[in-house]
Structure 1
Amino acid sequence: MTTSPNTPGESPVAAAPLRLALHETPDHLDGAWWPRSRVLATEAAQLVDQFPASVGRINRLLFSRPDWDDGATNGQGLRRIQAGRGPVKVGSFPRDDTHLMVLSMANGRRLRLVVVPSDTDQAEGERRMRAVATHSAHGGTDPDWARAHHESPGH
């Protein structure tokens, strides 16, 4: 059996392409992100490391705890993730269920991504990603998906 060395922050999931759709002219949402699992430490590291350089560098992430299995330990929200480029601060809203990931960029800009649940089937996930990328609208059927268009986690 042959194994390959991993660099810090790299995981088997990190090798998969990032499922990210950014809206050309942001309205209320800037895009959608469809992680492959509910493991924030792995998925957020992939988002940071594979985020398009042309859009900018992510400095901090704010997340909705209910979206992730590892968003909190002993009632305390995760405070840092280890990306391939190094540690990145993260924050959370304990009871926020808007399914949003707020990215604070190095240039001071904030981007809001709706998080498509990782267990969404392929056809529905692709439909949701297209809906946000082309219209900055959800077009989803579940209440949280529709509501996220009008809400934002607190600052």
Structure 2
Amino acid sequence: MTIAPDPPLPSHPLVRLRLAPHGVLPRAINGAWWPRSYDLLAELPRLLAGLPRMWGNISSVTVNGAMWPATPGRMLVVNQVVRLRRTVTASAPHTVILLAPGRGRWDLLVVPPDTTEEAAEPLMADAAGGHV
């Protein structure tokens, strides 16, 4: 009997994302994302690749400028142009807003990359459970 070798590890870490159950009523927070770094250009493609297909193609992303270093106004993600917007709203320093034309808007809590796993897990669970 031959044992197959383990499959290769992904070339990039899996996205740390927890989404709230799909419901009829709109939510203030639709889940949580815990990026691995403050490099938005590296992290955003992973996030978008990890989203449910039913969300459609995200065409616009708004991030808080206080959390992320300067970014270009748009970037190419899987052959699609995504507009990047920055806000400095103090009321939502740790959120990212995702827009898909004809599909909707989703707001995710962003757990800072340097957060410990012990601190991040309850934040992500609360965001996905609707307690944020």
Q: Same fold, TM exceeding 0.5?
A: yes
Q: What is the deviation of 1:62?
A: 0.8
Q: Deviations over 1:55-87 (max 9, x none)?
A: 33211101111111234xxxxxx3112323333
Output the aligned Cα RMSD.
Answer: 2.0
| Structure 1 gap segments, 5+ residues each | 1-12, 72-77, 139-155
Within a 5 Å distance, the mapping from 1:40-79 to structure 2 comes to 40-71=40-71, 78-79=72-73
Whether the 8 Å CA contact 1:33–1:113 is kept in 2: the answer is yes
Q: Deviations over 1:19-53 (max 9, x none)?
A: 11111145311111111100111111221233221
Total equivalences in the alignment: 118
2:38 pairs with 1:38: yes
User: Which structure exhibits the higher relative contact order, with contacts defined as CA atoms closer than 8 Å and separated by 6 or more residues?
Assistant: 2
Structure whose CA Rg is larger: 2
2:77 pairs with 1:80: no
| Structure 2 gap segments, 5+ residues each | 1-9
Amino acid at match of 1:116: V
For normalisation by structure 1, the TM-score amounts to 0.67
For normalisation by structure 2, the TM-score amounts to 0.78
Give 4+ residue runs of structure 1 displaced > 2 Å after superposition.
Answer: 54-57, 84-87
The 1:104/1:133 distance shift into structure 2, 3 A limit, reads: same
Whether the 8 Å CA contact 1:49–1:83 is kept in 2: the answer is no
SS for the counterpart of 1:118 is coil
Which residue matches 1:141?
A: none
Within a 5 Å distance, the mapping from 1:124-143 to structure 2 comes to 124-134=119-129, 136-138=130-132
Q: What is the deviation of 1:88?
A: 1.2
SS for the counterpart of 1:82 is strand
2:14 pairs with 1:21: no
SS for the counterpart of 2:59 is strand
Q: Deviations over 1:76-108 (max 9, x none)?
A: xx3112323333111111x22411111001324
2:108 pairs with 1:113: yes
